Structure 1
Amino acid sequence: MQSQNRLFDDFVKVMNGAAGTIAGMTREAQAAVQDRAREWIGGLDLVSREEFEAVKAMAAAAREENEALKARLDALEGRAGKAAAKPAAGKGRSRPAV
Structure 2
Amino acid sequence: MQSENPIIADLVKLANAAAGTVAGVTREAREAGRERVKEALGGMDFVSREEFDAVKDMAARARSEADALSARVAMLEARLAAKD
TM superposition score category, shorter chain reference: 0.7 to 0.9
TM-score for both structures, normalised by structure 2: 0.80
The answer for the alignment partner of 1:64 in structure 2 is 64
Moved over 4 A (4+): none
Q: CA deviation at 1:23?
A: 0.8
In 1, the alpha carbon distance for the partners of 2:40 and 2:70 equals 45
Counterpart position of 1:75? 75
Bigger radius of gyration among the two? 1
- TM-score, structure 1 normalization: 0.70
Task: Let me know the Cα RMSD of the aligned residues.
Answer: 1.9
Aligned to 1:14: 14
Can you give the 5+ residue segments of structure 2 that lack an aligned partner in the other structure?
none
1:39-50 superposed matches below 5 A: 39-50=39-50
State the percentage of identical aligned residues.
52
The unaligned stretches of length 5 or more in structure 1 are: 86-98
Partner of 1:26: 26
SS of residue matched to 1:18: helix
Within 1, Cα distance between the matches of 2:11 and 2:50?
56
